[in-house]
Each structure stands twice: as C-alpha cells, then as structure tokens.
C-alpha cells in the first residue's frame, strides 16, 4: 500500500512517496470547549503509538466572507503530547467562522489531516461563573454579583448588562429544599430563617440566546438575628387612578413618626454600581406625618418603572426602611370611568358623546392605552325584564338606532384598553326619553286639513250655484219689488215676463204725465230700478257690465230722450 502525501504548504509543492505503511492515524472526534475567552481543543487518538505528537492548523472567514484565510499554525497546539491544547491566544474574532484541523506527527511521519472542525466562537462559548460577595445583615443576606469577565480586557460577553442572574439557595442541612430565584447584581435575599446557615450559588444566564452559564462555587453564610423594628411602615401599597399615583402605608407605632418617601428609577437596579445611594426623596413627601403620599410628580413619562419605599423616622434619628414597591405606570394605573352625555336627534337616533377618562391627564392615557368604549343601553320600564344591549366602539361618539318611541332609555359607558387588558368602572347612568310618535297626529292633521280644503272647494261653488238658483227663483216667483200704487191694478201679468224691456216703462210715462211728475216718477222708477237691478244681476240686457255703469247708461239715454 502506498500512501501519497502532498504538502502544499511547501514551495514548490513536494510530494512524498512513502515506502511501506504509515500507521499514523489522524486524530478523531475533535471537540472545542470554550468558557468566556478560553479555548480548549480536545481530540481522540485511536492509534497504538505512544511517541506521537499533534499539531493543529486553523483558518477563519473574516467578515462573513466565503473565502477564508490561508491555513495557519494554531498557536498553543503545536507538538502537543497530550490530546488537548489551549489556543485562546489565536482567536480574536468571536463572531467569525473558524476552521480547525489536527494531525498526528512522529518524527518525519505525519498523518492525514483530520476532518475539519467548523465553529463560530460565540455560538459555542459558555458563560463562565460570576463572582459573589455576601453580607449578612438583620436576618437578610445582601449579595453582590460581579459579571463573569469582570476586569478582563478582551471579552466574549461585551454586554454584561444583558446577564440575568439565577440564584440557588438552600439551608445547610440534610434534606434541604432548593430555592431558585432571579436576582439583580446587587440584591437582598429575604424570607430566611434567622441564625441559620445557608449555602448558595449563582449562575449568569443570557436570556436572548437562552444560554445558561456555569455556576459559581458554593458560598455559605449564616443569617443574623432579626431585630424587629416597631416603627417601620408596613403594608405599603399603591392606589393609582387616571395617572394620579398615591402611596399608602400603615404604622402601628403609637408615638410620633415622620416619613420620607423615596423613589428609584428602575433601570439603576440593572447596573453593577451601588444604587443604594441613588434613592431620591419624592417632592412633597419629605418629613410628613400623613401615611400617604401623592407621587405623581415623579412619573414624568409613562415609559419607565420606578421603585418606591417609605423611610420612617423617630425622635432620636433612628430610621427604618419599608419594603419596596414597584410601579409600572401604565400597568399599575387604574382607568377611571368616562364622561357621558346623551342626546336624541330628530330622526330618532340616540347620540352618545363620550368624554375619555382622565380629564387633563387624558391625553397621556388616550395616547398610550388606545381606548375602546363599551356602551350598555336598555329600556327603563317598570318591568325590569328588559334586556341590556351592548355596543363596542373605538370613537368617542356612538349612535343607537332602532329605538321605540316614547320610551325612557338609559345608557352607561365603560372605557377599556384591549392592549393592557384594563377596563374602567361604568359611568353614571344617563337616561333620555324618546319623543312620542309624531307621525300619527301629523297624518290626522294633514288628512283633516285636506278634507276641509276639499270640502270647501266642492261646497263653495255648490252653495254659490244653489244660492243663485234660489235668488232667481225667488226673483221670478216671489219678486221683492212692488209696483207703484197707481199702477197696482195692472196686474201681475205685465211683470211676469222676465224679458220685457224695462226701458220702455219710463218712455210711456213721459208721454202721458207732466214733466215734473215725470222726473219724480223717473227718479222713483230709477231708484226702484236700481234697487231691483242691484238685487238681480242677471236680468235684462246688462249681463256682464257693471250695474251702475249699465244703469247710468240708461239714465243718460233717458235724460237725452227727456230733453
């Protein structure tokens, strides 16, 4: 069997032909073990030879390029006799892909290169153990954690603020229960039995990568006796409505206690600096005796959590700090009820005007909660079995249609934030009555008026016609004018004929009687004539003309004739 070995790394390339067998096996099962920036290469050698050494090479792909660098000797892994080596000094680019290979060597003999081990340092790196400092005070353990690569110049974990520390604590006795909790770099461990030895260990985790680091060595400490301070503030709680934040607490101490309410910006707890000096007094809640405080002034933005605590002080400058409470403004806050106004428009629609909760603060709440409104409405009748209907809207004006007339409707509104899963109490009920049915009376009125008008239109001419007929008949059969006494005897026959030319009468008189008498007669006749003329319009030849003009014409005619 001939083994061909080419060594392309030499110039010019030389190929060696080995006579005989090379038993040198390549290393196998390459593993890389990384803790922080410490790189360890491990492999297995299955051959029987004992006087072999190993050498490794590496190359990497800068800035995610496809072509890598040339193969280079891996420092720290040359001529190793053991099957592991430390090559930390070679690696500087932790985000770049690296290739590693090893081969066995014995004097001039070399084995083929092992298969390539591909790795990205950051991906396979493990988080090393953090440092711990402990202090036992008043039945409580104070812990200070330092990050895994504290004081190191070259770091794998640059962003040490992203670490989340996991504490495991147990009582130093048999059958002790393990308690696991998340802690800040500087924190206090409560709920511990006094005068007891506890053991603990901490690991750093990287939540973003779901990485869990190595645990620190176990530290044990004994808790001290707990001193009960009687004048501390207890039951510290928060009441927040419409972005007005109030802190309330109790104190069973009978004598005079004054309080200082202090606050801390939430992010300070995440830093490795000592935040105990960074607590600030809430303005307006310094040296107070009241067991409540309005701390709305410190909530300058809704983005940002805060911690609050109460410092109680008695005469001889002794003070006691209460437990801390956490405030996440938009989550802690409760939404108050909205304002409601109802109105009914002419087209029988119920309009609901909603005023968002919070008044002057409402802009902040409206901006951040993205309110929706739930309207409940029902008919307020004597029998309480009327169903309550619901409507959800996003705008501040709601309209309800399909209302029954002459009914009292009641409305109440609730504001809610779907995003924050928060809802307010319902507003006060607002009731309004729908107007009575206007249609029917209007219809009746319209019908009545139409009927009256119709009747008038029909009746008026009818009456007129009837009256005309009546007057004609009356004129014909029951004339109103009386013939003069002196011609009474003529009989009715002469006057019976309606078409007798009445102009002839005066002419007859003229020829028989004297002038004076004639004139008198004329006048009398004319008067009567006029009278009769006025009472019956249709008679004679004067059908369309005016009465007086007609009779005047006859007068003129007669007067001419007289002359």
Partner 1 sequence: MNDFGLILIGLILCTTTISSLQCNHLPLQQRKVIENSLQLLDKMGKKFPQQCLREEMSFRFPEQVLKLGQREAVKMAIEEIFHHIFYIFSKNLTLAAWDGTALEQFQNGLYQQIEQLEACVIKKQTHYFQKKEVNRLKLKKYFQKIDCFLKDKQHNLCSWEISRAEMRRCLQLIDKVVRRLNN
Report, in Å, the least distance between residue 134 CB and partner 1: 19
Nearer to partner 1, 174 or 303 (CB): 303
Report, in Å, the least distance between residue 269 CB and partner 1: 9
Report, in Å, the least distance between residue 207 CB and partner 1: 5
How many positions of this chain bind partner 1 (CB under 8 A)? 46
Q: How far apart are the C-alpha atoms of 400 and 261, rounded to whole Å?
A: 49
From residue 97 to residue 116, the character string flagging contacts with partner 1 as x (rule: CB under 8 A) and all else as - is --------------------
Q: How far apart are the C-alpha atoms of 86 and 98, rounded to whole Å?
A: 15
Q: Cα separations (Å) of 406 from 24, 230, 344, 379?
A: 105, 66, 12, 11
Q: Please say whether the beta carbons of 397 and 343 come within 8 A.
A: no
Give the pairing type, strands 389-393 and 371-379: antiparallel
Q: How far apart are the C-alpha atoms of 310 and 331, rounded to whole Å?
A: 21
Q: How far apart are the C-alpha atoms of 408 and 428, rounded to whole Å?
A: 16
Pick one of 99, 106, 144, 164: the residue that binds partner 1 (CB under 8 A).
164
The answer to the question of residue 28 lying near partner 1 (CB under 8 A) is no
Pick one of 118, 250, 363, 367: the residue that binds partner 1 (CB under 8 A).
367
Phi, then psi, of 443 in degrees rounded to 5: -65, -45
Please give the span between the terminal C-alpha atoms of the chain, in angstroms, as a whole number. 180
Site for partner 1 in 289-308 (CB under 8 A): 300-305
Classified as helix, coil or strand, 476 is helix
| 136 membership: H or E segment, kind and range | strand 131-137
Site for partner 1 in 384-443 (CB under 8 A): 417-421
Q: How far apart are the C-alpha atoms of 248 and 544, rounded to whole Å?
A: 106
Report, in Å, the least distance between residue 39 CB and partner 1: 17
Q: Output the CA angle 490-491-496, nearest 5 degrees.
A: 120
Nearer to partner 1, 232 or 330 (CB): 330
| 42 membership: H or E segment, kind and range | strand 38-44
Report, in Å, the least distance between residue 125 CB and partner 1: 10
From residue 239 to residue 278, the character string flagging contacts with partner 1 as x (rule: CB under 8 A) and all else as - is --------------------------xxx--xx-------
Pick one of 220, 331, 449, 459: the residue that binds partner 1 (CB under 8 A).
331
Report, in Å, the least distance between residue 389 CB and partner 1: 27
Q: Cα separations (Å) of 100 from 5, 40, 63, 76, 452?
A: 19, 12, 18, 13, 112
Site for partner 1 in 39-98 (CB under 8 A): 63-64, 95
The answer to the question of residue 123 lying near partner 1 (CB under 8 A) is yes
Would you call the peptide bond into 12 cis, given omega within 30 degrees of 0 as the criterion? yes
Binding piece for partner 1, criterion CB under 8 A, among 101-109, 139-147, 210-218, 238-246: 210-218
Binding piece for partner 1, criterion CB under 8 A, among 49-57, 80-88, 206-214, 337-345: 206-214
* Beta-carbon count within 10 A of 408 CB: 12
Pick one of 26, 37, 55, 166: the residue that binds partner 1 (CB under 8 A).
166
The answer to the question of residue 320 lying near partner 1 (CB under 8 A) is no
Alpha-carbon Rg for the chain in angstroms: 59
- Residues near partner 1, by CB under 8 A: 63-64, 95, 120, 122-123, 158-162, 164, 166, 168, 178, 180, 182, 207-212, 215, 265-267, 270-271, 300-305, 328, 330-331, 367-368, 370, 417-421
């Amino acid at each position: 069997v001939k083994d061909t070995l080419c060594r392309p790394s030499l110039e010019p390339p030389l190929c060696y032909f080995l006579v005989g067998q090379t038993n040198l096996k390549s290393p196998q099962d390459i593993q890389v073990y990384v803790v922080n920036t410490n790189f360890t290469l491990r492999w297995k050698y299955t051959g029987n030879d004992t006087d072999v050494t190993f050498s490794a090479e590496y190359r990497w792909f800068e800035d995610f390029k496809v072509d890598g660098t040339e193969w280079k000797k891996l420092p720290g892994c040359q001529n190793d006799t053991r099957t592991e080596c430390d090559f930390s000094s070679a690696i500087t680019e932790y985000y770049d892909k690296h290739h590693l290979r090893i081969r066995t060597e014995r004097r001039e003999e070399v084995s083929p290169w092992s298969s390539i081990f591909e790795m990205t340092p950051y991906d396979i790196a493990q988080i090393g153990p953090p440092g711990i400092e402990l202090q036992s005070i008043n039945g409580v353990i104070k812990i200070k954690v330092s990050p895994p690569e504290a004081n190191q110049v070259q770091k794998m974990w640059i962003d040490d603020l992203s670490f989340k520390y996991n504490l495991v604590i147990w009582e130093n006795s048999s059958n002790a229960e393990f308690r696991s909790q998340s802690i800040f770099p500087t924190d206090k461990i409560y709920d511990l039995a006094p005068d007891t030895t506890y053991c603990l260990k901490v690991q750093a985790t990287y939540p973003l990568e779901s990485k869990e680091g190595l645990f620190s060595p176990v530290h044990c400490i004994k808790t001290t006796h707990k001193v009960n301070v009687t004048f501390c503030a207890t039951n510290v709680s928060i009441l927040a409505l419409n972005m007005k934040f109030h802190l309330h607490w109790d104190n069973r101490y009978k004598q005079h206690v004054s309080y200082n309410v202090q606050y801390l910006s939430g992010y300070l707890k995440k830093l490795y600096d000592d935040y105990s000096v960074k607590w600030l007094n809430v303005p307006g809640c310094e040296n107070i005796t009241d067991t409540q405080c309005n701390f709305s002034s410190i909530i300058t933005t809704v983005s940002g959590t805060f911690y609050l605590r109460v410092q109680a002080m008695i005469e001889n400058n002794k003070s006691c700090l209460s437990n801390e409470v956490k405030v996440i403004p938009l989550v802690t806050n409760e939404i108050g009820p909205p304002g409601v106004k109802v109105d009914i428009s002419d087209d029988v629609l119920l309009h609901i005007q909603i005023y968002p909760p919070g008044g002057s603060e409402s802009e902040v709440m409206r901006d951040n909660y993205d309110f929706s409104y739930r309207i409940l409405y029902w008919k307020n009748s004597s029998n309480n079995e009327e169903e309550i209907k619901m409507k959800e809207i996003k705008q501040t004006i709601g309209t309800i249609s399909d209302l029954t007339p002459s009914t009292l409707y009641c409305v109440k509104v609730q504001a809610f934030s779907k995003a924050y899963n928060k809802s307010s109490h319902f507003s006060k009920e607002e009731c309004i009555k729908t107007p009575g049915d206007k249609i029917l009376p209007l219809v009746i009125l319209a019908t009545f008026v139409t009927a009256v008008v119709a009747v008038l239109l029909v009746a008026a001419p009818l009456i007129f016609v009837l009256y005309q007929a009546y007057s004609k008949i009356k004129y014909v059969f029951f004339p109103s004018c009386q013939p003069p006494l002196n011609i009474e005897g003529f009989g009715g026959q002469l006057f019976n004929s309606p078409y007798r030319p009445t102009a002839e009468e005066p002419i007859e008189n003229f020829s028989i009687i004297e002038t004076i008498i004639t004139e008198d007669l004329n006048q009398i006749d004319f008067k009567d004539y006029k009278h009769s003329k006025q009472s019956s319009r249709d008679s004679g030849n004067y059908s369309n003309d005016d009465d007086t003009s007609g009779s005047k014409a006859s007068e003129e005619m007669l007067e001419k004739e007289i002359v």
